Structure 1
Amino acid sequence: MRNTRKIVFVLFDGADLLDVTGPAAVFDAARDRDARADYRMSLCAKRKGPVRSSSGIALHADSDFARAPSAIHTLVVPGGLGLDEAMADAALLATIRRLAARAERVVSICTGAFLLAAAGLLDGRRATTHWRYANELARKFPALQVEPDAIHLRDGDIWTSAGVTAGMDLALALVEADHGQALALETARALVLYLKRPGGQSQFSVPLQAQSAEHATIERVRQAVLDRPGKAWTVQMLAERAAVSERHLRRLFQDELGMSPREFIHGTVMERAQRLLSDGDAQVAEIARRCGYGSSAAFIRRFQATLGVSPTDYRARFQSPAAGREERR
């Protein structure tokens, strides 16, 4: 017998196209491969008809919110460039709360987590979003615990995902939860996706560059560490370089970057390692030395623990074509 699961996507002007179509493609592919995966998808908005996405391509809402299915298995809330207006729409937030109350599980894609948080659905929960907006989510909604490195995350009946294509990773996880690993793996193969993407979000960002603090003191400290990444920096040494007290430096780092000076040092060294791996052809042992590690083994362990992938795997994914050509000569 079929187990019908009604999946409702919430649409609003400026929603990201891939936040909707990516997960929908996964559910559709699973249904094509196993009739028992009877996913029935519908798009709902304020009004039935076309809703313009952030790319300018319109999606067609099957119904307005008032006529959304009474029994919802999965409610999917996307993000997108129209997020600010959506968050200011009290009626939309109330609708999300109402639909979520009758859904078996609630899903956000990318910055859709902001809408779930604004609707009060993430209070006291763990959640993730695109790495670029993780600090903002944590700052605006202190009642939730943001995990910025997760590709996707489940907390009870609420699932959240990182940026855009991570919505497809999350959808595969939902297929696996519903119908088992075999169908999820077959679906992933059909779509040429990882079933479980190795590593976290940090492999796709330059960690400290993504956290755009503009304070001159932090920039001086940052430059000092970048100039001598192999130096055994301490908080005291950084404070002396910045001409401030250690206490002030710790408070400044926490306020500006949401991290300690020690975490900053480690992140800066990893940032340098990522650049050396992607932009050049130096051997891993040489990169370890340039980053202040006494052995390549210690460097590889730290890199793997921080980014979730080995230096070799990171280079294979992110090395620029020019660097790759130079290495093959």
Structure 2
Amino acid sequence: MAKTIAILALPGVQLLDVSGPLDVFAQANIEAGKTVYALQVIGCQRGPIASSSGVRVLPDRIAGESDERVDTLLVAGAPNAAELPISNANLSWLRNTATRARRYGSVCTGAFVLAATGLLKGKCVTTHWAAADALRQAYPGTTVDDEALYVRDGKLRTAAGVTAGLDLALSLVEEDLGREIAMRVAGQLVMFFKRPGGQMQFSRKGETHPAGRSVLQEVQRWVVAHPELDHNVGSLAEHAGLSSRHFARLFHAEVGTTPGAWVEAARISAARTMLESGHGAPKLVAGKCGFGNVDTFRRAFAKHVGVTPAEYRKRYVSSAFDSD
């Protein structure tokens, strides 16, 4: 008997949060040579569901109108998922259906909807990196991993932003049908079987921006303009016209981090821009961004971004033009 995969699509849903996972499961049916998965889109009310792109999705059924059990229930995300008004009846249906399912979860900001049911309390989850802090604040009883592409916690499965829904769906296919079929699905869909790194390689969350009083902002702008210089506390304090001790305390109090940590983040941000533009191999970028050697640069970059500088550069520079 086919396993029912149901995706709850809310008004304003991100279309790829729905279509991406469904395509993975549909391809798994083809690779398996039989209908392993029966696919459904569930709406909260009758009529087409307008997605964030304007494309309309016609749901197969409406939440609460039947007692049909599902094998796997996923909640797709939407740009405004955290603010969507969802009726108590729909939340109750979602809670009951998820509890009865073999597994349940969310894609991207669909985690906010699941959290509203209480199902994420005490659980470890992920969501889009840009929404992670908001999810933590709104639901402090939930542990949010903003680095992972997808997280498994018991019968709960959550995926990070948008395309990570494909990674999650492929992992579910591997759970059900094994590695060989999952690899064939990945090959047909031209996607990574196991995508290297986490979602922080796509994040702009760690980018530095001037903060604090004007004298501190001037120092920060100086660092951004000249990342290659030796920006120790003494030199930064001198540039600000303050003592080293007073500068360090003031910087931490108003910017929220140490001068050294801020400088490192600014250098990484500069390095990302250079690597994305194809301006030099990692060794050259390390020197231009103030790192003493390429090994120090590699470790710092991997800590902030989750992949090495060389791996990151490959995302943006075509091998046809890469002579390094």
TM-score (norm 1): 0.84
Which of 131, 137, 152 is the aligned partner of 2:129?
131
Distance 1:280 1:115 in 2: 40
Structure showing greater radius of gyration is 2
2:298 corresponds in structure 1 to 300
Contact 1:273 1:291 in 2 (8 A): yes
1:51 corresponds in structure 2 to 49
Distance 1:242 1:152 in 2: 48
- What amino acid is aligned across from residue 282 of structure 1 in structure 2? G
Distance 2:170 2:53 in 1: 24
Q: How does 1:129-278 map to 2 (within 5 A)?
A: 129-209=127-207, 219-220=217-218, 222-230=220-228, 231-234=230-233, 241=240, 249-250=251-252, 252-253=254-255, 263-278=261-276
- The SS at the match of 1:67 is coil
Distance 1:154 1:308 in 2: 20
Distance 2:85 2:259 in 1: 34
How far apart are residue 106 of structure 1 and its match?
Answer: 1.3
Contact 2:79 2:109 in 1 (8 A): no
Q: 1:235 to 1:54 in 2, by over 3 A?
A: farther
1:102 corresponds in structure 2 to 100
Distance 1:239 1:201 in 2: 38
Distance 2:164 2:189 in 1: 14
1:116 to 2:114 alignment: yes
Distance 1:239 1:120 in 2: 53
Q: 1:169 to 1:238 in 2, by over 3 A?
A: farther
2:14 corresponds in structure 1 to 16
Q: 1:227 to 1:85 in 2, by over 3 A?
A: closer
Q: 1:117 to 1:250 in 2, by over 3 A?
A: farther
Deviations 1:182-211 (A, max 9, x none): 1111000000000111111122133433x8
Structure 1: give runs of 5+ residues left out of the alignment. Answer: none
Distance 2:274 2:218 in 1: 22
Distance 2:81 2:63 in 1: 18
Deviations 1:161-200 (A, max 9, x none): 1111110011011111111111111000000000111111
Q: 1:301 to 1:89 in 2, by over 3 A?
A: same
TM-score (norm 2): 0.85
Of 198-207 and 23-32, the range deviating more from structure 2 = 198-207
Alignment: residue pair count: 319
Contact 1:26 1:171 in 2 (8 A): yes
Q: 1:179 to 1:118 in 2, by over 3 A?
A: same
